[in-house]
């Protein structure tokens, strides 16, 4: 009896499972080490098992038909997919490839099994990942897309999500056929910014973030959209962006409404301040003219009465002198209240008013206050001059309360079409957190007054320590009506 054929040494050491089968019975004649290890069976156990025992899922008729297609030609091959069963009862997917060979005049089949476990696991993972991606895209408010710009300037959209029609009013097929349709949706005044941001993203390979308006002809409507995408180079020198477009019309409308509301609030605040200053000026004039005049008349009358008192009544004379002193103190109080309401120095111009306030601050607080202005007079309308004066007053009040300063330097300068007022102190300075305190109304009030003048207010560290407050406003000539009112 001739010995049973065996696999060649190269096949014995192969990584794939290789089985040598009897062509007539389909029984295992030999199996390599990879097959034995995967199945968990010894060579003796495998010997004599037919292919249907190894792969219980195979149908005899289907396999017979497949093998019949091999014919008698040596080297012909056919393949199928099935599952092999291990000794422990578990199974794994394989691709079985059958080849007809002849060994020592005996017709044999060579069955090569490639384990598909990793391939199927990868396919399942890919399918799950694709399913998750599809779910995310379906639930993403907007359009997920891929955009490519080629070296010659051509553009296209290789992939677009279902949100294309809802956002842009264009179908995916329309936009993929002609990618320039998207650029044509952008309003002309926003198109330049779109192209510049795209070129900047390409040049620096940085994130592309753009906001702009598009016209949807189908709905006769303008939309605000936000585009965010990440670039990366692709074959041929092209650049591809993967990103998302979203409709931000609602948030833009809210933002614009907030800006309009703030503008209206600023106008109202400015109007209230103007009305308040006018009312202060009116009350100051009435106090000065009416009360001041009456008090002066009372003082004169008291002087006349005191002169007629007989010397024999010292008590009455002492009482008259007391009343005269009381009237003097009242006149001083009226004068002080009038100045607080509306300093008469403002009628002499801003430069004179600021200089006077600096001297008053130095006299009252004992803090040296130096005022410098290269010009003797800077002509402003009443509202402008009053607002700057009030900012100056508030700044000095803050210095007196919080700075712990011993010296204040003030500089007023005309700079072409702008006016600059700098107030420096040598105090402890202001911490960033102090500017954000919820009740720091002094700083907020000064800032709002500056904004109402079309200017800015900034805080910084002063040279040598302390704080520098700088107000810059537009310099406009006083209106005729206000000049006339001032002359009156």
- Tell me: the pLDDT tens digits for 67-122? 888 876 666 789 999 999 999 999 999 999 999 888 777 888 899 999 998 888 88
pLDDT of residue 181: 94
Can you give the residue ranges of every domain in the chain?
9-117, 140-247, 256-340, 344-487
Give the list of residues 6+ apart from residue 484 with CB closer than 8 angstroms, or none: none
CB 349 within 8 A of CB 385: yes
pLDDT in tens, 432-469: 656 555 555 667 777 777 787 778 888 888 777 788 88
Measured distance CA(358)–CA(356) in Å, rounded: 5
Q: What is the residue-averaged pLDDT of the chain?
A: 84
Mind listing the pLDDT tens digit of every residue in the chain (488 residues)?
Answer: 457 788 888 899 998 999 999 988 999 999 999 999 999 999 889 988 999 999 999 999 999 999 888 876 666 789 999 999 999 999 999 999 999 888 777 888 899 999 998 888 888 888 888 888 777 777 777 899 999 999 999 999 999 998 888 899 999 999 999 999 999 999 999 999 999 999 999 999 999 999 999 999 888 889 999 999 999 999 889 999 999 999 998 888 888 888 888 778 767 776 776 777 677 777 767 776 677 777 778 878 877 877 777 776 778 777 878 888 888 888 778 777 776 776 667 778 888 888 888 998 898 889 899 999 888 888 887 778 888 888 888 888 888 888 888 889 999 988 878 888 888 888 887 766 565 555 556 677 777 777 877 788 888 887 777 888 888 888 765 544 444 444 44
pLDDT of residue 207: 95
CA distances from 52 to 25, 133, 235 (A): 11, 41, 49
pLDDT of residue 484: 42
Same fold, 9-117 and 140-247: yes
Q: Using CA atoms of 56, 58, 64, 68 in order, give the dihedral in degrees to the nearest 10.
A: -120
DSSP SS3 for 477: coil
To which H or E segment does residue 447 belong? helix 441-452
Rounded to a whole number of angstroms, the CA Rg of the chain reads 47
CATH number of 9-117: 3.30.450.20
pLDDT of residue 481: 40
CA nearest to 391, candidates 353, 429, 359: 353
> With respect to CATH, is domain 140-247 assigned 3.20.20.70?
no
Could you say which of 3.30.300.30, 3.40.190.10, 3.30.565.10, 3.10.580.10 is the CATH number of the domain covering 344-487?
Answer: 3.30.565.10
pTM of the model: 0.50
């Amino acid at each position: 009896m001739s010995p049973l054929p065996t696999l060649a040494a190269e096949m014995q050491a192969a990584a794939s499972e290789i089985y040598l089968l009897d062509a007539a019975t389909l029984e295992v004649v030999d199996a390599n080490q990879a097959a034995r290890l995967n199945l968990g069976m010894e060579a003796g156990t495998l010997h004599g098992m037919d292919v249907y025992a190894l792969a219980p899922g195979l149908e005899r008729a289907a396999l017979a038909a497949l093998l019949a297609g091999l014919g008698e030609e040596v080297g012909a091959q056919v393949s199928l997919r099935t599952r092999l069963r291990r000794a422990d009862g578990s199974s794994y997917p394989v691709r079985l490839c059958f080849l007809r060979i002849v060994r020592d005049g005996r017709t044999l089949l060579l069955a090569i099994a490639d384990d598909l476990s990793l391939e199927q696991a990868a396919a399942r993972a890919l399918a799950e990942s694709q399913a998750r991606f599809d779910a995310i895209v379906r639930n993403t408010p907007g359009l997920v897309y891929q955009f490519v710009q080629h070296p010659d300037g051509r553009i296209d959209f290789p992939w677009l999500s279902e949100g294309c029609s809802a956002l842009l009013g264009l179908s995916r097929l329309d936009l993929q056929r002609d990618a320039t349709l998207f650029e044509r949706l952008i309003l002309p005044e926003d198109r330049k910014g779109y192209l510049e941001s795209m070129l900047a993203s390409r040049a620096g390979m940085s994130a592309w973030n753009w906001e702009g308006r598009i016209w949807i002809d189908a709905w006769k409507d303008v939309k605000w959209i936000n585009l965010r995408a990440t670039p990366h180079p692709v074959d041929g020198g092209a650049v591809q962006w993967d990103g998302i477009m979203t409709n931000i019309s609602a948030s833009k409308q809210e933002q614009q409404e907030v800006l309009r509301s703030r503008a209206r609030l600023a106008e109202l605040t400015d109007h209230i301040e103007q009305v308040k200053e006018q009312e202060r000026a009116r009350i100051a004039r009435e106090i000065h003219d009416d009360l001041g005049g009456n008090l002066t008349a009372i003082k004169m009358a008291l002087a006349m009465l005191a002169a007629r008192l007989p010397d024999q009544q010292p008590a009455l004379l002492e009482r008259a002198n007391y009343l005269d002193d009381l009237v003097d103190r009242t006149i001083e109080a009226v004068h002080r209240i009038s100045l607080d309401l509306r300093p008469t120095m403002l009628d002499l111009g801003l430069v004179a008013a600021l200089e006077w306030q600096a001297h008053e601050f130095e006299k009252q607080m004992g803090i040296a206050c130096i005022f410098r202005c290269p010009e003797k007079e800077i002509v402003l309308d009443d509202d402008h001059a009053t607002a700057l004066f009030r900012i100056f007053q508030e700044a000095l009040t803050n210095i007196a309360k919080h700075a712990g300063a011993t010296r204040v330097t003030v500089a007023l300068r005309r700079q072409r079409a702008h006016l600059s007022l700098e107030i420096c102190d040598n105090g402890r300075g202001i911490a960033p957190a102090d500017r954000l305190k919820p009740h720091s109304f002094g700083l907020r009030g000064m800032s709002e007054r500056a904004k109402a003048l079309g200017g800015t207010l900034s805080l910084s560290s002063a040279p040598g320590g302390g704080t520098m407050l700088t107000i810059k406003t537009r310099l406009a000539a006083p209106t005729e009506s206000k000049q006339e009112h001032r002359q009156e």
